[in-house]
Amino acid sequence: MKRRILLATSAFALGLSALSGAALADDPLKVGFIYIGPVGDHGWTFTHDQARVAVEEHFGDAVETNYVENVAYGADAERVMSQMALSGVDMIFATSFGYGPDVNSVAQRFPDVAFEHATGYIQEAPNVGLYNARFYEGRAVIGHIAGRMTETNTIGYIASFPIPEVIMGINSAYLHARAVNPDVQFRVVWAYSWYDPAQEAAAAEALIEQGADILMQHTDSTAPVTIAQDRGILAFGQASDMTAFAPESHLTAILDEWAPYYIDRIQARIDGNWEAGNVWHGIVDGMVGFAPMNERIPADVLEEAEAMIAAIEAGEYHPFTGPINRQDGSAWLAEGEVAPDGDLLGMDFYVEGMTGDVPN
């Protein structure tokens, strides 16, 4: 008897899943995106939207996407995602860290919708997946190039907020610049903004006044590379290829390549085997890439940079490999020791040799 019920139930379940499978095959899968900024920022939000466009191109009629831009954290994000879920989307990509509490709250109310949250850390529902990129791998490469190419031995760094992601980037770039140029100095300006062209431009000018001949940025606008072009110095772009804004000065840019991950996760949702994960992808997974290298990079430097990219991709080299001391001289990583992910994700200190303090 029991067995028969079991059979009946499983037959019913099979029928159901066959049904939903058929439904999936006919209707396009609906995927919603929410963005913190405007799609035209040429930085963070722009790269996510480019990935959304790539998703549409890849899947054609099988996937339908929509998005809302400029969505503030909190009530606005919660409302937009709830309305998206009510409109029948099957999957939502929430593309900024501050959406964490909102994503989890909405996910609990809509258990049939799959949520993917960029750069977050809160998983309070089984249908919330997290993803992040190892941008420090890219920072290591541009740090190396900068260390080799600077003539004033001064690199200007426009930072956004003193949080682990940003501090990790500064440390990675600095370590690899110093490795090839022991005299190199980093000057850091904190913009306290992710996207503020006027402030970023002012920061760039200030850094040039302090003698910087190469600029790096952890902010999203094209203002710093444009200033670099005007003032005849060098710069690295951020998030997307900014060559068009500074053809002579733009050495390369660390690219946010979200498309491979998005296509992979959406395919999993179509196949019915999507599960919430928590991934931190790097160059090897295709999430971190590089814009075309400028011809002004000398051939030997270019060769070294490409060798470093290849070594990181092959898993032979980790940008945070000991010995590395903290700024105060205390030991962090011993000879040959590789930084645990937890240390990196909580990084609140500069490495030895950096001048200035992490603001508190």
Partner 1 sequence: MLRLEKRPQPSKFWNWATPVLAVVLTMIAGGLLFMALGKDPFAAIKMIFWDPLFSPQFAAYSRPQLLVKAGPLILIAVGLAVGFRAGIWNIGAEGQYIIGALCGAAVALWFWPAPGWYIFPLMVLAGAFGGWAWAMIPAILKTRFNTNEILVSLLLVYVAEKILAAMSVGRMRNPDGAGFPGSRNISQYPAASNQELIANTGMHWGVVAAFIAVIFTYIMLHRHILGFQVQLAGQAPRAARFAGVAPARLIVLCLGFSGAMAGLAGMFEVSGPARMISIDFNSYYGFTAIIVAFLGRLHPVGIVLAGLLMALTYIGGELAQFMLGLPSAAIQVFQGMLLFFLLAVDVLSNYRIRLSVREAV
State the residues that interact with partner 1 by CB under 8 A: 32, 36, 38-39, 66-76, 78-80, 82-84, 86-87, 97-98, 101-102, 121, 161-165, 192-193, 345-348, 359-360
The residues pairing with 189 across neighbouring beta strands, listed in sequence order, are 158
Residue 234: closest CA among 293, 168, 185: 293
Cα distances from 130 to residues 63, 122, 166, in angstroms, run 21, 8, 19
d(CA 96, CA 194): 11
Q: What is the DSSP letter of 337?
A: P
Q: What minimum distance in Å lies between the beta carbon of 87 and partner 1?
A: 6
On whether the CB atoms of residues 83 and 291 are closer than 8 A, the answer is no
Strands 91-94 and 29-34: parallel
Among residues 9 and 70, whose Cβ is nearest to partner 1? 70
Supply the minimum distance, in Å, between the C-beta of residue 358 and partner 1: 10
Q: CB of residue 102 vs partner 1: minimum separation in angstroms? A: 8
Q: Of 127, 98, 117, which Cα lies nearest the Cα of 261?
A: 117
Rounded to a whole number of angstroms, the minimum distance from the CB of residue 158 to partner 1 is: 15
Please give the distance of CA 169 from its chain centroid, rounded to a whole number.
11
- Smallest distance from the beta carbon of 84 to partner 1, in angstroms? 6
* CA gap 219, 200 in Å, rounded: 8
Residue among 81 and 208 whose Cβ is closer to partner 1: 81
